[in-house]
Structure 1
Amino acid sequence: MPPEIEITLNGEPTQVRDDALSEVLQTCGYAGVGFAVAINGEFVPRSAYAQTKVSAGDLVDVVAPVAGG
């Protein structure tokens, strides 16, 4: 089993075992659609989630749209 790495997910230190963004999102409860992701301030297109790797110390922000104005 791979060693855990620590990332910051939405401002909270989080230990993850997989470095693939798609797996990190699934493990942390983000399934389906309806959110956007940025790593270290850079937007990641949904089509790139499976190929995108996270590294120890990365700042990962998951943002869901809010209805209303």
Structure 2
Amino acid sequence: MQNYLTIFINGEPFSCDSSMSLFDILIYFNVEVNSIVVEYNNSIVDKTQFNTLYFNQNDCIELISIVGGG
């Protein structure tokens, strides 16, 4: 049996399986993990937690791209 829940990514609802970690979702969206900052329910997530962070119904994440330049 699969359990689905809705989380919000940059303000948009996204339905995912409850077994998906933050890392799984980033891979699903083809996000370059090393060039992003993730905010989870208003707190910055350390990259070492990407594989162990799982979601609850209505959690919010913001994906912030790091852009280099000069």
Fold equivalence (TM over 0.5):
yes
TM-score (norm 2): 0.82
- C-alpha root-mean-square deviation of aligned residues, in Å? 1.8
Q: Which runs of 5 or more residues in structure 1 are unaligned?
A: none
C-alpha distance 39-32 of structure 1, shift in aligned 2 (>3 A): closer
Point out the structure with the larger helix share: 2
**Cα deviations by residue, 1:31-66 (Å, 9 ceiling, x for unpaired):** 441000011101100011111111110011010023
Alpha-carbon distance in structure 1 between the residues aligned to 2:64 and 2:50: 15
Q: Which runs of 5 or more residues in structure 2 are unaligned?
A: none
Calculate percent identity across the aligned residue pairs: 22
Q: Name the SS for the 2:34 alignment partner.
A: coil
Point out the structure with the larger strand share: 2
Runs of 4+ that moved beyond 3 A: 66-69
TM-score (norm 1): 0.83
